Amino acid sequence: MTVRTRFAPSPTGYLHIGGVRTALFCWLLAQRHGGKFVLRIDDTDDARNRAEAVRPILDGFRWLGMNWDEGPTDSADGTSFGPHQPYFQGQRNPIYEAAAMKLLAEGKAYPDYTTSAEQEAAREHAKLARKPYVHRGTNRDVPADENVKLYAAKKAPLLLKVEPGLKVSFVDAVKGKHETNTDTIRDPMLLRGPDENGLCRAVYNFATVVDDIAFGITHVVRAIEHLENTPTQILMYQALGATLPIFGHVPQVYYIGKKMSKRDTPALSADEIAKFKACGWTEEEIKGRDDLNIIAVAYYKEIGYLPEAIINYLCRLGWSLDAETEFMTVETLKQNFTLDRVTDAPGNYDAKKLFWIQGEHMKLVPTAEKVERCIPFLQRAKLIGDTLDSDTRLTLTKIIEASGDRIKLFSDILAFATPILKQEIDRDPKATEKAFKDPAAKLLLTEFAEVLKSAKSFDAASLDKLTHEFVASKGLKLNALQLPLRVAITGTGMGFGLFDTLAILGKDVSLQRLATVLN
């Protein structure tokens, strides 16, 4: 039997990082067994802004490379692909109704004419008695054919009849054995009472079960908050005569000890805002994006993370391969992921560790690919044009090579490329002051400019030798020249190798920039 897993996001307008972690486990499980990963949109509400709410979610999965075998099309307009269409719950209500009618006819479900006031009172009563309220509806014991007639005449919530005194047990693939007595399970609602248009919409629990059966889902992997729903859902599977899938409930992702939520997650820091601005974003553009937040996948894409780093980190949060492996490629994950090594306790999101993992993955990206992936960031910042001439490409390649491990995020390219590529260099006042507060610095630079002028070769190695000889002849260390020179030719006190910088700039530009400082 092929493994079929599914992830069912609600259309919220952004892809939640915690949701991705759960989806990742589903996806990895399917990949591991050569199975299928299904995406279903749980949009039982009105789907007016569907595209707007669904597209960011699909985009997020596509960017991460977590492709789905069946589900909504990329258009996000409500169309689907795959053998069990449609994959939008909002379009599947007739299917839920048909399943419910079957249960009604079989006497497994019944209409409940209890008024909300009555229910309210019963609930209140139970609360005072410090007992759980287990709802059982009015027409439980009415014969099936009569209930069918009654229901046709007067719609009401349709409830599943739960047989009391039984045990529902299952073995959760991550939590282990779980057992519940049916005496504590209320008769669950299948279909709601009619809305203003007379439509009886399925309730989440029922829609999920009907869909999971229809889609042939073999492994239901979802967040732990659904653990308590499971016995109820098992009863529905049984009533529907379906075989049970394997359930696996995974713990949540926390942020500083609390469930990760948009509200409790910090806004962009000043540094991050500066970074986005350097990348060509305007204040309005930044403010207009409420998904530029560590909780949303879009943030990581926009600031230049690698999808494989996100996947590695997220998977590692709540799962381990062994006692020490931290760095894992997606391929390794696909080959080794198992539900039984998912942790029991919730895990806290740690931005620093993610950043470290990102750096590790970045080390493996070949220069040519880095160039390609940095280009969009440079273009957005208008540092390079829409088309790239071969000279610029070559310079860019040199910059990226010289930057080495310093480029952690693709957006970091701006910090290294701007001082080289921008004609009018931005001078950091603090660095400038520090570099030239000793008047001897300018004199030294003036002499060094003459040395540079007569340099025969202008490659990094020659410049290294030449410069060291120069400072040695002065009885100085390189440090005496390093900062003034760097600030003079780049405007900043930080950057990659000094000699690489000179070499990439070339003799003319280097001398020219030196001259502007010295005059």
Partner RNA sequence: GGCCCCGUCGUCUAGAGGCCUAGGACAAUACCCUUUCAAGGUAUGGACCGGGGUUCGAAUCCCCGCGGGGUCACCA
Residue placing its CB nearer to RNA in the complex, 35 or 236: 236
- For RNA, the closer of residues 87 and 254 by Cβ is 254
- In whole angstroms, the minimum distance from the beta carbon of 241 to RNA comes to 23
Give CA–CA dist 311/401, Å, rounded.
26
Site for RNA in 376-395 (CB under 7 A): none
CB atoms within 10 A of CB 363: 11
- By the rule CB under 7 A, 243 interacts with RNA: no
With respect to RNA, which residue has the nearer C-beta, 302 or 500?
500
Rounded to the nearest whole angstrom, what is the least distance from the CB of residue 184 to RNA in the complex? 6
Q: State in angstroms the smallest separation of the CB of 168 from RNA.
A: 11
Residue selected from 63, 237, 356, 436 as contacting RNA according to rule CB under 7 A: 356
Q: What part of residues 450-489 is at the interface with RNA (CB under 7 A)? A: 460, 464, 478-479, 482-483, 486
Per the structure block, which two tokens stand in for 287?
């403010």
Q: Does 408 bind RNA (CB under 7 A)?
A: yes
> Site residues for RNA, window 303-332 (CB under 7 A)?
316-320, 322-324, 326
Residue from 125, 167, 259, 382 binding RNA (CB under 7 A): 259
Q: How far apart are CA 90 and CA 76, in angstroms?
A: 13
Q: By CB under 7 A, tell whether 271 contacts RNA.
A: no
Residue 171 pairs in a beta bridge with 177
The angle at the Cα of 380, spanning 378 to 384, to the nearest 5 degrees, equals 45
**Min. distance of Cβ 348 from RNA in angstroms?**
3
Instruction: Name the residue among 179, 342, 351 with its Cα closest to residue 251.
Output: 342
Residue 285 beta carbon to RNA: minimum distance, rounded to whole angstroms: 27
d(CA 304, CA 378): 12
Q: Site size for RNA, by CB under 7 A?
A: 80
Instruction: Show contacts with RNA in window 121-180 (CB under 7 A).
Output: 123, 130-133, 156-157, 175-176, 178, 180
Contacts with 127 (C-beta within 8 Å, 6 or more apart), sequence order:
133
Least Cβ distance, residue 16 to RNA (angstroms): 12
Query: H or E stretch including 146?
Result: helix 144-153
Stretch that binds RNA, among 65-73, 98-106, 116-124, 137-145 (CB under 7 A): 116-124
Applying CB under 7 A, which part among 162-170, 390-398, 436-444, 492-500 lies near RNA? 492-500
Q: Is 228 in the site for RNA (CB under 7 A)?
A: yes
Considering only 55, 91, 136, 204, the residue that binds RNA (CB under 7 A) is 204
**Residue 59 or 360: which CB sits closer to RNA?**
360
Asked if 495 is part of the footprint of RNA (rule: CB under 7 A), the reply reads yes
According to CB under 7 A, which one of 79, 80, 85, 119 is a site residue for RNA?
119
Q: How far is the CB of 232 from RNA (least distance, A)?
A: 9
Q: With respect to RNA, which residue has the nearer C-beta, 195 or 284?
A: 195
For residue 34, give every residue at least 6 positions away whose Cβ sits within 8 Å of its Cβ, in sequence order, or none: 2, 3
**C-alpha of 171 from chain center:** 29
Question: Max CA-CA distance within the chain?
Answer: 107
Q: Which is nearer to RNA, 35 or 200 (CB)?
A: 200
Q: Which two tokens stand for residue 473?
A: 């002849």
Tokens for 70?
Answer: 């069946």
Contacts 24+ apart (CB under 8 A), 116-119: none
**C-alpha torsion 454→455→457→462, nearest 10:** 170
Site string for RNA, 35-54 (x = CB under 7 A): -------xxxx---------
Number of Cα atoms under 13 Å in the Cβ half of residue 411? 20
The SS3 of residue 116 is helix
Identify which of residues 373 and 468 has a Cβ nearer to RNA in the complex: 468
Instruction: Please name which of 299, 264, 253, 282 lies closest in space to residue 56, comparing C-alpha atoms.
Output: 299
Which position among 254, 299, 337, 470 is part of the footprint of RNA (CB under 7 A)?
A: 254
Among 166, 171, 368, 494, binds RNA (CB under 7 A): 494
State the minimum distance, in angstroms, from the CB of residue 283 to RNA: 26
For 438-501, give the DSSP string. Answer: STHHHHHHHHHHHHHHT-S--SHHHHHHHHHHHHHHTT--HHHHHHHHHHHHHSSS--S-HHHH
Stretch that binds RNA, among 27-35, 220-228, 364-372, 438-446 (CB under 7 A): 220-228
Note whether 353 binds RNA by CB under 7 A: yes
Distance of alpha carbon 131 from the chain centroid: 41
Contacting residue, 499, 504, 505, 517, with RNA by CB under 7 A: 499
